[in-house]
Structure 1
Amino acid sequence: MLHLFLGHYVADHGFTHNSKLRHLKGWNFIQHLIWSAFAILAFTFDTLLYTVPVILFTFIAIHLFFDYLRVKVNKKVYYHLIEVAGMIIALIFNFVVSDYFKTSYLSKEFVLYILGMALVTTALSYFFRNFYPAIENYEDLEGISERLAFFIFFLAGKPFFAFLSLFFGFLFRLWKVKKFDHVWWISPVFAIFFSIIWKGIVF
């Protein structure tokens, strides 16, 4: 039951260019804070909001505090520490209130599936932007698309279409970029290994 952790992760990584969060200012920063609160509530409102709202809003406040810290620090190592600390705290809070999620309209399997989609699309992008090739504004749209397609098809028991999606993803890169990049192999390999592992976790 990882509802709270999922909300935390989606708030800072789902539908969001995580590396740009550290540079947000003014209204853009406020918009992210609002988005974060609603993202967490989206996966917990039917349980924690009505049972232990104090714990829920305490966690949201902690999450928003980490969002604030992210825009205040100026060393890359601190960004990573904030991400790791936030995830650890999210897991701790999630463990404390996990029993409440048994009555959630979101099943355990569905939450794991959505979390897997979020991780397969964004975890590698975080690696590309922060570690290798360490380009903060690295655009990984093609990689995200191929990893997501592979994940969906593979977990649906359609391995042929899963690998076909990687093939078409490679052709699209050749057509769009027209210059081979040595990091291209990382994305499909990650998609394959992650999807195999995650399918075992979900099913």
Structure 2
Amino acid sequence: MFDAVTGGYFKKGDEPLSAIQVLNEDLAQLKVSSDEDRALEKKSIKSLNKYLGTYSIRVDNSKYERSIINSHITYIKDIEDVQLEASQGYIPPTIFVDNESLFSISPYEEYVNDESDEIPTIIFAKKNIKDDDENYTKFTLGAFMNSVMMEEFYVRINQGEFIKVDTYYNLSIEKGVTTIEISLDGVNPLRQIVIKK
């Protein structure tokens, strides 16, 4: 994890640390390398801990060689760090993961889809804020598996019936707790998300 302003970076011993490694380390045990190695002050550690719960990278999932990057993968170390809304509005379409391995792949490595996914992943995109009202917040929900958006899956909201979805589902989230499940066969739920609003 590199600070472009100061030229400093976190390290443990003599080893520079990636952003994911910093998130998972005790900041009190790390040093900051810049002009001279130094330990973090307790005040700085307390301040930094507020901001070091997640780490996002942009994903190029554009089609047809258009250079549009419209989604992110966000590593979370604690489920409580997941937020759909930030201080400047809703986050872009994001996939939340707790698996560090995705962040250790070189961007220069050519991607090969091994089609090993057995469970689809849910992705949300915020619909127009003007569509929201005081009772409902509207999102578009999709699912993908093996790096491809699924053209057909099933969704169930708050233990209701599974509904067949063709590519995208328009989701209205009420105040309170909303449980969203997806399935491939309309019977067996494979993933669940609980949103507290």
**Please, what TM-score do these two structures have when normalized by structure 1?**
0.25
More helix by share: 1
More strand by share: 2
Relative contact order, higher structure (CA 8 A, sep 6+): 1
**Please, what TM-score do these two structures have when normalized by structure 2?**
0.26
